[in-house]
Amino acid sequence: MKRALTLVLLVALAAVLLNAVADLPPHGSPDTPAYTHVGAYYLENGSEETGSENIVTSIILNYRGFDTNGEVTVIVTALMAVIAVLTGVQDTGTQPDAEVIHVAPSVVVRFIVRVLAPFILVFAVYVILNGHVTPGGGFQGGTMLGALAIALTLVLGERESSRLLPQRSLRVIQVIAPLTFVAVGLAGLFIWGDYLFFPRDEKLRGFAEAMLVLIEAGIGIGGAVVFARVFRLMGGRQ
């Protein structure tokens, strides 16, 4: 009965949604508002106005940089939430009958992680540093770095893997993404008078690029630390 009712509700909801979506401007057609208004402006003027060779970067770091500023804060908020909820919780405390079994990872896993690690690292750094010219950037590169830290945590012992995160400066490093964002934004404010302003002058292009790289690096490192920390906290470690 309940399932039948759910089905009827879902079908009704789907009918309403499909009916509305059918009347939307056709997807992919060049005359839709999504391609003729703000989007068209970005495509036409983006690379010239922002000096960025990558249109996506010109949007997420220049025109809509404040959104990205907010998004890195969302990620940090999630980490803060996890820390606040998991601090002081023993990993065995919640499931008294679950024995913690320490199994050494297999030789195959250890070997593969060891072989891949330097390549992952180099590629991650490449993606972060080239974010302002090619697809990719801090978010993607940071995910790779974070995945690397997680893979290494799996194969290394507790003592070695805890050294992957700088313990002393961790409280600053874990929020480095919004901090660099705000710092670069404020530099724009105090030098040129607008928050998140990047100089558009041809002569200062190198300077603007350095600012963008700094933000991407902040996002990348900050994002990686968030991933690694959430993983460790869920494993009951600090």
Partner 1 sequence: MTSWPPLLVLFVLTPLVGAVLTPAVSDASGRRSWEWALGTMLLTSAMAGALIMRVLDEGPFSYVVGGWVAPYGIELRFDEFSAFVAVVCLLGLLAVIFSRHYARDALAPGRIPYYYTLLLLNMTGMIGFIVTGDLFNLYVFMEILSLSAYALVAISGEKTAEMAAFKYLVMGAVSSLSILFGVGLLYALTGSLNMADVTGRLAGSAEAPLVLAFAALTLGFMVKSALFPLHIWLPDAHAIAPSPVSAVLSGLVVKVGILGMLRVYQIAYGSGAIDLSGLNLMLTWLGAISIVMGAFFAVFQDDIKMMLAYSTISNIGYIVMGLGLASPYSLIGASVHVFNHALIKATLFLGAGALIHQTGRRTLTGLAGVGRSMPLTTAAVSIGAISIVGIPPTAGFLCKWYIALGAMQAGEPLFAVALVFGALLIFVYYIRMVNAFYFRKPQEAGAPAVHEAPATMLVPVLILAALCLVMGVLGRLPLSFIEPAVTRLLAPLGGG
Interacting residues with partner 1 (CB under 8 A): 16-17, 19-25, 32-39, 41-42, 62-67, 70-71, 73-74, 76-78, 80-81, 83-85, 87-89, 171-172, 175, 178-179, 182, 185-186, 188-189, 192-198
Q: How far apart are CA 227 and CA 235, in angstroms?
A: 13
Which lies closer to partner 1 via its Cβ, residue 56 or residue 179?
Answer: 179
Least spacing, CB of residue 118 vs partner 1, in Å: 31
Q: Are the C-beta atoms of 185 and 54 separated by less than 8 Å?
A: no
Least spacing, CB of residue 129 vs partner 1, in Å: 22
Q: Are the C-beta atoms of 56 and 165 separated by less than 8 Å?
A: no
Least spacing, CB of residue 111 vs partner 1, in Å: 38
Which lies closer to partner 1 via its Cβ, residue 145 or residue 229?
Answer: 229
Which lies closer to partner 1 via its Cβ, residue 97 or residue 115?
Answer: 97
Which lies closer to partner 1 via its Cβ, residue 12 or residue 81?
Answer: 81
Least spacing, CB of residue 71 vs partner 1, in Å: 6
- Residue 90 sits at the vertex; the CA angle it makes with 73 and 168, to the nearest 5 degrees, is 50
Least spacing, CB of residue 214 vs partner 1, in Å: 16
Which residues have a Cβ under 8 Å from the Cβ of 53 and sit 6 or more positions away? 47, 132, 133
Q: How far apart are CA 76 and CA 180, in angstroms?
A: 13
Tokens of 220: 């990348």
In the chain, count H helices and then E strands: 11, 0
Least spacing, CB of residue 151 vs partner 1, in Å: 27
Which lies closer to partner 1 via its Cβ, residue 131 or residue 185?
Answer: 185
Q: How far apart are CA 149 and CA 227, in angstroms?
A: 8
Q: What one-character DSSP code corresponds to residue 157?
A: -
Which lies closer to partner 1 via its Cβ, residue 160 or residue 201?
Answer: 201
Q: How far apart are CA 195 and CA 172, in angstroms?
A: 22
